[in-house]
Every structure is written in C-alpha cells, then in structure tokens.
Amino acid sequence: MSLERQLEESRSECVRLQRQLLAVESCSNPAEPTTNQPPSGIDCEGRLLSKDSVIVAGHMRQLNAVIGNLRDEKLHLTTQLRKHQLRIAHLEHHVDQLNKQVDTDGFLLSLWEICKKLNPLMPTVTIWVQL
C-alpha cells in the first residue's frame, strides 16, 4: 500500500517538475515568441502561482494582445492617412493650375472685350493661347 502511494507521489512530483522545466524553458527561449508564455499556474521561475495571480496573468496576456492589435490598427490608419494627404496635395496642385488657367483666360477675354470697345470695327479674330 505504501509503495503505491510512493509511486503516485513520484508521478505527481515528476509532472510538477516537467511543468516547471517547460515554464523555465519557455521563458528563456526568445526564439519562439508563440511559446514564450509559461503554462497557466506557473511563473518563469517555475513557482506555482495563486489563483489570483493566474487571473491577473491572464488579463495581462489579454491586454498585451489588445495593445498589439491597436498598434497594428494605428499603423494601418497612419498609412491610409499619408496616402490621402498625398492625394489631396496632388489634387490641390491641379486645382491651382486650373485656377491660373482660368485667370489667364479671363484676363484675355477682358482684354479682348476692351479692344472691341476701343475699336468696334476691329475684325473678329480667334485667339488661341497655350500655357
């Protein structure tokens, strides 16, 4: 009877030590970021955590995931903003060019109207201006 009990205690001790080893290896191996978290209930030093600590650790993992998602979203939105800013600058440039052309055309039309008033017998001539 005591031999069976010793065997059961040895098995439970073996499982506990394997978990501790896994926790220490996962905390010290930065090459695998997906397994960098120790199993629930064990910290990086291999100590068993209390129920409250496990809950807090779970919340911290969840918050870190939310922070990562927010950073990704910020990067995406910043990229979109820059793209739209460049498009706006491009369109403003074209609007300025069109305004200059309209101003020039308006000036030429005014000039033509003045010339017609000064000399009503002036032959009708079409003026083509290329900017």
Distance CA 55, CA 113 (A): 84
Residue with token string 């120790």: 38
Residue 1, in any domain of the structure: yes
Backbone φ and ψ of 42, nearest 5°: -135, 135
40 and 54 Cβ atoms separated by less than 8 Å: yes
Domain count, the chain: 1
Give the chain's length: 131
- Domain range for 36 is 1-49
pLDDT per residue as tens digits for the range 95-129: 988 888 887 877 777 877 777 777 766 555 555 55
Residue 58, in any domain of the structure: no
pLDDT per residue as tens digits for the range 55-77: 888 888 899 999 999 999 999 99
Backbone Cα Rg of the chain: 39
Predicted TM-score (pTM) of this structure = 0.41
Residue with token string 């308006």: 106
Residue 24, in any domain of the structure: yes
**Alpha helix (H) ranges present in the chain?**
2-28, 51-118
